[in-house]
Amino acid sequence: MRETTNKSNHLVSVITPAYNCAEYIEECIGSVLNQTYQNWEMIIVNDKSTDNTQFIVESYAKKDPRIKLFNQEKNAGAAAARNKALELSQGRFVAFLDSDDTWKPNKLERQLEFMLENKYGFTFTSYEIMSDKPLDKKKIFKVPEKINYNKYLKNTIIGNLTVVMDKEILGDIRVEVGYLEDVLTWMKYLREGHIAYGLDENLAMYRVAENSVSSNKFKNAKRYFWCLRKKQKLSLMKSINCQIGYMFNATKKRLL
């Protein structure tokens, strides 16, 4: 790795909301501990879990001061948990990782190298699907070199668990609240004129729950149209056009 990504001042703040994730949180934390790039802090916001999530995270935090736990007084949702973690973050770089997902060991190293060498403020990577049930074949979502606002409206290709953002370029980072909060957040920065740059390397593992895929298809399609009309305030015709692109690309992803 070049010296630019090895400087101690390039702290990465890993943002992790956690709610009733005792089954997976250790694997998630372990994937951060195993990073080849070690200058990070992991801020886990426990969103009033009712299982052993808090106890598990506390046990890791006692062993490693880079792991920081904040307990919400009441359940407020993933967006509020992410924003609390962002408020507490000290790093120049912000990386998102949900409590049931994991990273490959060289994820942060490769992505920071990619960003610093090219002066990119907003990046994402390819990622792999993992499931509790056996998959017919390995599913990897590959990413384009870059994506702007208009292209993203038709293809929500950015995986939340792969995103790293640079505060020095983007300024204060906040997550949008509402349906499809990650999609709304990326739209916000893209609409401001920023470009998201893709690193086409499989650097993360996205967990798909066995019972979540089919039931969410129609719901997400409805919510996406609401997002286009009410949040992005697009015309009816443009919203329909973008919705067709969104559904086409979503279908393509499922057929991989």
Question: Residue 64's domain spans which residues?
Answer: 3-211
Does any domain span residue 233?
no
Does any domain span residue 247?
no
Does any domain span residue 232?
no
Q: Considering its fold, how many domains does the chain have in total?
A: 1
Which is nearest to 43 in space by CA: 81, 92, 78, 10?
A: 81
Does any domain span residue 217?
no
Does any domain span residue 246?
no
Does any domain span residue 52?
yes
Does any domain span residue 239?
no
CATH of the domain at 57: 3.90.550.10
How far is the C-alpha of 25 from the C-alpha of 56, rounded, in Å?
8
Q: What is the pLDDT of residues 132-171, one digit of tens each?
A: 776 667 889 999 999 999 999 999 999 999 999 999 999 9
Which is nearest to 125 in space by CA: 101, 149, 141?
A: 141
Q: 152-161: string of b/e by CB count within 10 Å (b at 16+)?
A: bbbbbbbbbb
Confidence of residue 219 (pLDDT cuts 50, 70, 90): confident
Please name the residues in contact with 256: beta carbons below 8 A apart, sequence gap of 6 or more. 139, 140, 141
Model confidence at 1: pLDDT above 50: no
pTM: 0.91
Q: Which of 5-14, 219-228, 243-252 has the lowest mean pLDDT?
A: 5-14
Model confidence at 217: pLDDT above 80: no
